[in-house]
DNA sequence: TCCCATACTCTCTTTTCGGTAAGTATAAAT
DNA sequence: ATTTATACTTACCGAAAAGAGAGTATGGGA
């Protein structure tokens, strides 16, 4: 209750509904996911993608995960899914305005990661070294 | 290769090392996690925290998860862990510069979530409605 | 007639996640 | 002597996530 109040204050957003806080946290949990972030990036670059293209671009993802993640994104209104009734099937995905907004928000995180990966790598090495020194 | 090039171009960062891309993606995967994001938020508000305080502020987290997440954050250089050699034990956590940078990057995502939770909620209802309509 | 392409969907198995609960260390207080 | 407080660590277990791989639908081409 107190912390929530503080957070609101910091962000100049006067709101205090705990249900809203919970929903917001749930959304963050849903959206702050490796595959979601990757897909959003890919869809930001080439704005319209078929399933197969996404599968290729999103290295390492399984078909199942791809379907699952895309469905969740569709449900949350981040992407549109257009089915062309042809054979073989053709389905196109593209970001919505909402998805584009999230893409921009994520941009900061990507930039942070790209700017700091060396620092993090060094921190990890230091940590491991300290661990090993402690073991002796 | 091609997509990676495009991404670089978009972000004005001329780099093409696939190992770096992989590391960056791994970092995103590590850091884009509910508890990490929550802890960073809490540590941004009250800048210095003991273990017990964090446990209280981070509603719903178990001791195990809290320890685990904090360790990972320490390893990545996001927080410092200061142990006071007293009994009973006292350990303080605080964000590093790196952690603070990530906090700022995350801020955009929080703001996006707070600004758009209603849209998302509606999108979900629409999706469910469409599903049910299709079932019939 | 048979096969191909595409975007799934389903099943089965493995892996990981995460919670509970108990144990540890130790000085100070009772 | 026993209890208390704190920040863990460890072991165990069930649930959930995720991977592998086969199956499905169907119009057009060989």
In residues, how long is chain B? 136
The lowest-confidence range among A10-24, A41-55, B91-105, B117-131 is: A10-24
Give pairs for A40-43: CB < 8 Å, separation 24+.
A40/A73, A40/A78, A40/A95, A40/A99, A40/A102, A40/A103, A40/A106, A41/A103, A41/A106, A41/A110, A41/B7, A42/B3, A43/A79, A43/A93, A43/A94, A43/A95, A43/A99, A43/A103
What pLDDT is recorded for position A54? 96
Tell whether B41 lies on the interface with A, counting CB pairs under 8 A. yes
Q: Contact A113/B24, CB-based, under 8 Å?
A: yes
What pLDDT is recorded for position B5? 43
What pLDDT is recorded for position B15? 58
Strand-pair partners of B49: B93
The first and second tokens of residue B23, run together, are 């590391």
Among candidate residues B57, B104, B58, B100, the one with its CA nearest the CA of residue B77: B100
Q: Contact B27/A124, CB-based, under 8 Å?
A: no
Taking C1' of C17 and every protein CA, the nearest residue is B65
DSSP-derived 3-state class of residue B32: coil
Residues B55-113 pLDDT 10s:
999 988 999 999 999 999 999 999 999 999 998 999 999 999 999 999 999 999 999 99
A38 has a pLDDT exceeding 80: yes
Tell whether B21 lies on the interface with A, counting CB pairs under 8 A. no
Chain A positions in Cβ-Cβ contact with residue B105 (cut-off 8 Å): 108-109, 111-112
The whole-angstrom separation of Cα B74 and Cα B96 is 9
Taking the CA of residue A109 and the nearest CA in chain B, the distance in Å comes to: 5
Tell whether B76 lies on the interface with A, counting CB pairs under 8 A. yes
Nucleotide with minimal C1' distance from the CA of A87 is: D27
User: How many other C-beta atoms lie within 10 A of the C-beta of residue A41?
Assistant: 20
Q: What is the mean pLDDT of residues B11-19?
A: 64
Which residue carries 């670089």 as its tokens? B8
Q: Contact A109/B102, CB-based, under 8 Å?
A: yes
A90 touches strand C (CB under 7 A): yes
What pLDDT is recorded for position B1? 41
CB A91 within 8 A of CB A133: no
The whole-angstrom separation of Cα A114 and Cα A73 is 25
The whole-angstrom separation of Cα B80 and Cα B58 is 18
Cis, bond preceding A88 (omega within 30 deg of 0): yes
Q: Contact A13/B114, CB-based, under 8 Å?
A: yes
Sheet with B79-84, strands from edge to edge, namely B48-50, B90-95, B79-84
């Amino acid at each position: 209750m107190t912390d929530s109040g503080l957070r609101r204050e910091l962000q100049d957003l006067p709101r205090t509904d705990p249900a809203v806080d919970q929903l917001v946290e749930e959304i963050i949990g849903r959206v702050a996911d490796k595959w979601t972030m990757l897909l959003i990036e890919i869809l930001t670059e080439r704005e319209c993608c078929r399933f197969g293209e996404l599968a290729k671009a999103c290295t390492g993802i399984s078909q199942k995960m791809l379907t699952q993640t895309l469905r969740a994104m569709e449900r949350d209104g981040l992407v549109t899914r257009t089915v062309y009734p042809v054979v073989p099937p053709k389905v196109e995905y593209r970001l919505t305005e909402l998805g584009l907004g999230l893409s921009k928000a994520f941009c900061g995180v990507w930039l942070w990661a790209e700017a700091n990966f060396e620092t993090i790598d060094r921190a990890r090495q230091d940590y491991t070294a300290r661990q090993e020194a402690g073991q002796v």
